[in-house]
């Protein structure tokens, strides 16, 4: 089904209202279907995709390049640079996921993201770079070893330098200390001993992880945090 620019525009505004709590997802999808001719599945997809873009989370149903371009342009206009940064992270996560399972290359979609990324003022946000790199690795893995080696022969061995920044939260050290003490040297997920002893203080090395991420509105509290090993920590974010 061809989706018109007007339908994309309306889907964006409706999904934005859902995200702001002004409309329920069910009523929003019904409105997009009955008033604007979107099939109910596409309407639901737009609502989920917008929410994921605003939260920096992966979405699994793909969205057209023109729709993504419109969504990103409106996000930065209405919600600012920080919201665009978050949306780009989510979009690159989608590229990595979708290309990985479908064995396709989202060329036009990638071009949209590259264009917005190129227009960002330096420095680039670190998690945008990391997400785009992950997607590029997924793209490379679909090629043959011979194709990769051919590119490597032409590539410079001296990497280009970028200036990157990362957004961090000012976390309560008492929360971290309390969950580490509670864990008593054992990962609170896999229950295995900490992988090594930290040189600086002689304590078992575990990392504090928020069950509901701070970026998604989670509290910086003992109840929302666990002490886990680095392997489990990476699995929570990338598994």
The predicted-structure confidence for 3-24, as pLDDT tens digits, reads as follows 999 999 999 999 999 999 999 9
pLDDT above 90: residue 187: yes
pLDDT above 80: residue 27: yes
Strand positions, DSSP E, 47-139? 124-125
Q: Would you state the torsion angle of the CA atoms of residues 198, 200, 203, 209, taken in this order, to the nearest 10 degrees?
A: -70
pLDDT at 186: 96
Residues of the chain within CATH 3.40.1800 domain(s) are: 173-238
d(CA 124, CA 109): 20
Looking at domain 173-238, its CATH class is: alpha beta
pLDDT at 121: 62
pLDDT at 213: 87
The two structure tokens encoding residue 36: 């604007």
Task: Check: CB of residue 86 under 8 Å from CB of residue 55.
Answer: yes
d(CA 175, CA 8): 44
pLDDT above 70: residue 63: yes
What residues have CB less than 8 Å from 167, skipping those under 6 apart? 82, 85, 125, 127
pLDDT at 122: 64
3-state SS, residue 237: helix
The predicted-structure confidence for 135-157, as pLDDT tens digits, reads as follows 888 889 888 999 999 999 998 88
Task: Check: CB of residue 63 under 8 Å from CB of residue 84.
Answer: no
pLDDT band at 130 (very low <50, low <70, confident <90, very high): confident
d(CA 217, CA 209): 14
Where residue 136 falls (left for φ over 0; alpha for ψ -120 to 50; beta otherwise) is alpha
Of 16, 124, 127, 6, nearest to 74 by C-alpha is 16
The predicted-structure confidence for 208-224, as pLDDT tens digits, reads as follows 999 998 888 899 999 99
pLDDT above 90: residue 29: yes
The predicted-structure confidence for 105-118, as pLDDT tens digits, reads as follows 999 999 999 999 88
What residues have CB less than 8 Å from 97, skipping those under 6 apart? 58, 60
């Amino acid at each position: 089904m061809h989706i018109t620019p007007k339908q994309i525009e309306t889907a964006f505004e409706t999904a934005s209202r859902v995200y702001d709590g002004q409309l329920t997802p069910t009523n929003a999808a019904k409105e997009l279907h009955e008033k604007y001719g979107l099939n109910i599945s596409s309407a639901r997809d737009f609502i989920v995709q917008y929410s994921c873009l605003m939260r920096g989370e992966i979405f699994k149903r793909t969205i057209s390049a023109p729709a993504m371009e419109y969504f990103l342009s409106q996000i930065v206009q209405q919600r600012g640079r920080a919201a665009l940064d978050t949306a780009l992270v989510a979009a690159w996560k989608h590229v990595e996921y979708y290309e990985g399972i479908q064995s396709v290359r989202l060329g036009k979609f990638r071009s949209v993201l590259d264009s917005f990324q190129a227009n960002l003022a330096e420095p680039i946000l670190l998690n945008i770079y990391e997400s785009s790199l992950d997607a590029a690795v997924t793209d490379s893995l679909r090629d043959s070893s011979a194709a990769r080696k051919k590119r490597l022969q032409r590539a410079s061995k001296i990497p280009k330098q970028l200036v990157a920044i990362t957004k961090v939260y000012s976390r309560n050290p008492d929360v971290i200390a309390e969950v580490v003490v509670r864990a008593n040297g054992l990962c609170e997920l896999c229950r295995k001993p900490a992988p090594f002893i930290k040189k600086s203080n002689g304590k078992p090395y575990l990392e504090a992880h928020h069950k509901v991420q701070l970026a998604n509105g989670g509290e910086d509290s003992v109840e929302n945090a666990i002490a886990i090993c680095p392997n489990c920590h990476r699995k929570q974010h990338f598994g």
